[in-house]
């Protein structure tokens, strides 16, 4: 008999500082509409001088433990997924363990497994699947495991990627018989292609990205993963015929969001592929015209071609698309518009955003997740919202955290971006949080990062 495993709770940490998109647009000589309407970004979350991916991960982990009244003995694994880790050898998860022991006592977490997972923005979803499989196997020695997605998206000043920056961490509390989301493991589909759309060499602080090419890779890999998900649905009898729609079986969904408008592109491309050949598709084509030809084009070339983008744009204006988008996607973007990109954390912020925004009863609904990571890989998976989910959601406070942040001027943002402020020169001095306090300078600890919980 298969065990039911999944996500019992979610906790998010977002830096207390943000840059307003209008301020950035004005400083860079860009029309604000290009950022707010074109990309869908209104605010960019910016880490303070004492923060990094490890402190954010520790804060999210501490919150999920405290609000569920957990002790170290309740935790089997702390697995972190990131692409902005500060160390090429030591995992962030071990730093998190050390920070938590400042709260719970020295040695209190020495029994946990603490690996780190890396696959760009899809890494946390891979880590979640790993840990859920471990729990389902019965090998776990404690009831809970925690997967943490933590990242700081950073691009060169004045670059095309700069307006999509952001930062956040999300802790997923995993267990058997979860209260929030029960995972459907046999449906999960993967799509992986060795590609160079986005990467960050070890020696660089900022990523190398080919923007339009990366959009094409996202759409290609997501289609491959969605096809695998559909095949699994057919094998399990959830679809009776290949011409049935996968989207009709999904009640709400969250996609990885490098920028919120990308989610619209992804969902539109998913529906175009999913609805092709259905009776409704014939009606839509009568309204917007035929699909462009793929002849002579690779998948990526097709997805970034002007002809396909124009066709997709017309499709997004149809009543059929707007209805699906508003019902199943839009609420996932409420928080993401206020944060920017957060790499591994992005899709899970979308999940929490849905739960905090939706007033209707979601119990028993199928929740789809489309997770993408450059390099490149996509995962399409799903969960069933559990009967007790409202008890979990009432303690979520992501929106409240976003409303409490401080707006900073571009000059301060640039000082933080370029590392011109020392750890002790934070815009908001740390209080009741973990702080990066120093880097080692001796021969045996050169560059080692030291953290402290500041009361």
Distance from chain centroid for Cα 225:
17
Cβ-based neighbour number of residue 72 at 10 Å: 20
For each of the chain's 455 residues, which pLDDT tens digit applies? Answer: 689 999 999 999 999 999 999 999 999 999 999 999 999 999 999 999 999 999 999 999 999 999 999 999 999 999 999 999 999 899 999 999 999 999 999 999 999 999 999 999 999 999 999 999 999 999 999 999 999 999 999 999 999 999 999 999 999 999 999 999 999 999 999 999 999 988 888 778 788 878 899 999 999 999 999 999 999 999 999 999 999 999 999 999 999 999 999 999 999 999 999 999 999 999 999 999 999 999 999 999 999 999 999 999 999 999 999 999 999 999 999 999 999 999 999 999 999 999 999 999 999 999 999 999 999 999 999 999 999 999 999 999 999 999 999 999 999 999 999 999 999 999 999 999 999 999 999 999 999 999 999 99
What structural domains and CATH numbers belong to the chain?
Answer: 5-454 (3.40.47.10)
- The Cα 124–Cα 115 span in angstroms is 12
The pair of structure tokens assigned to 365 is 């609904």
How many CA within 13 A on the CB side of residue 180?
A: 20
The pair of structure tokens assigned to 438 is 């120093």
Cα separation values, 340 from 42, 56, 262, 358, Å: 8, 16, 12, 21
- The Cα 199–Cα 212 span in angstroms is 14
Q: pLDDT digit string (tens) for 418-448?
A: 999 999 999 999 999 999 999 999 999 999 9
SS3 labels along the chain: CCCCEEEEEEEEECCCEEEEHHHHHHHHCCCHHHHHHHHCCCEEEECCCCCCHHHHHHHHHHHHHHCCCCCHHHEEEEEEECCCCCCCCCCHHHHHHHHHHHHHCCCCCCCCECCEECECECHHHHHHHHHHHHHHHCCCCCCEEEEEEEEEECCCCCCCCHHHCEEEEEEEEEEECCCCEEECHHHCEEEECCCCCEECCCCCCCCEECHHHHHHHHHHHHHHHHHHHHHHHHHHCCCCCCCCCCHHHCCEEEECCCCHHHHHHHHHHHHHHHHCCCHHHHHHHHHHCCCCCCCCCCHHHHHCCHHHHHHHHHHHCCHHHHHHHHHHCHHHHHHHCCCCCCHHHHHHHHHHHHHHHCCCCCCCCEEEEEEEECCCEEEEEEEEECCCHHHHHCCCCHHHHHHCCEECCHHHHHHHHCCCCCCCCCCCCCCCEEEEEEECCCCCCCCCEEEEEEC
Q: pLDDT digit string (tens) for 380-433?
A: 999 999 999 999 999 999 999 999 999 999 999 999 999 999 999 999 999 999
Phi-psi region of 260 (alpha: psi -120 to 50; beta: other; left: phi over 0): alpha
330 Cβ partners below 8 Å, 6+ apart?
none
The pair of structure tokens assigned to 81 is 């997924």
Q: pLDDT digit string (tens) for 3-40?
A: 999 999 999 999 999 999 999 999 999 999 999 999 99
The answer to whether the predicted template modeling score (pTM) of the entire model surpasses 0.85 is: yes
How many CA within 13 A on the CB side of residue 101?
A: 15
Determine whether 193 is exposed, middle or buried from the number of CB atoms within 10 Å of its CB (0-12, 13-18, 19+): middle
Residues linked to residue 378 through DSSP beta bridges, in sequence order = 191, 372
């Amino acid at each position: 008999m298969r065990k039911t495993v999944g996500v019992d709770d979610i906790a998010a940490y977002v830096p207390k500082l943000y840059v307003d998109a209008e301020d950035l647009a004005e400083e860079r000589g860009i029309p604000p509409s290009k950022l707010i309407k074109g990309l869908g970004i209104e605010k960019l979350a910016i880490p303070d001088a004492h923060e990094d991916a490890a402190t954010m991960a520790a804060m999210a982990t501490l919150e999920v433990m405290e609000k569920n009244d957990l002790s170290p003995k309740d935790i089997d694994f702390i697995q972190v997924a990131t692409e902005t880790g500060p160390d090429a050898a030591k995992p962030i998860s071990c730093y998190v363990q050390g920070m938590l022991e400042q709260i719970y006592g020295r040695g209190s977490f020495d029994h946990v497994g603490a690996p780190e997972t890396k696959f760009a923005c899809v890494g946390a979803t891979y880590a979640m699947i790993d840990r859920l499989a471990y729990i389902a196997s019965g090998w776990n020695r404690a009831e809970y495991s925690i997967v943490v997605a933590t990242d700081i998206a950073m691009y060169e000043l004045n670059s095309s990627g700069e307006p999509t920056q952001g930062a956040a961490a999300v802790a997923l509390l995993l267990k058997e018989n979860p209260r929030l989301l029960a995972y459907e493991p046999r449906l999960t589909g993967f799509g992986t292609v060795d590609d160079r759309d986005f990467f960050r060499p070890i020696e660089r602080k900022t990523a190398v990205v080919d923007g339009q090419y990366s959009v094409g890779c996202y759409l290609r890999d997501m289609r491959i993963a969605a096809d695998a998900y559909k095949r699994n649905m057919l094998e399990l009898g959830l679809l009776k015929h290949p011409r049935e729609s996968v989207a009709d079986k999904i009640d709400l969904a969250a996609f990885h969001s490098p920028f919120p408008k990308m989610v619209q592109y992804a969902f539109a491309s998913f529906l175009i592929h999913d609805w092709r050949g259905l009776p409704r598709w014939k009606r839509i084509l009568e309204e917007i015209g035929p699909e462009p030809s793929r002849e002579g084009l690779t998948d990526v070339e097709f997805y970034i071609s002007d002809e396909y983008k124009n066709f997709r744009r017309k499709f997004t204006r149809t009543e059929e698309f707007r209805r699906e988008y508003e019902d199943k996607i839009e609420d996932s973007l409420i928080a993401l518009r206020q944060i920017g990109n957060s790499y591994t954390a992005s899709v899970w912020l979308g999940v929490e955003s849905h739960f905090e925004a939706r007033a209707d009863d979601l119990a028993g609904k199928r929740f789809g997740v489309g997770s993408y990571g450059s390099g490149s890989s996509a995962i399409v998976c799903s969960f069933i919202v559990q009967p007790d989910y409202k008890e979990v959601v009432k303690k979520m406070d992501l929106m409240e955290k976003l409303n409490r942040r401080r707006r900073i001027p571009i000059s301060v943002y640039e000082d933080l971006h370029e590392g011109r402020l020392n750890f002790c020169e934070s815009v908001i001095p740390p209080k009741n949080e973990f702080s990066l306090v120093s880097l080692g300078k001796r021969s045996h600890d050169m560059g080692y990062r030291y953290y402290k919980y500041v009361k």
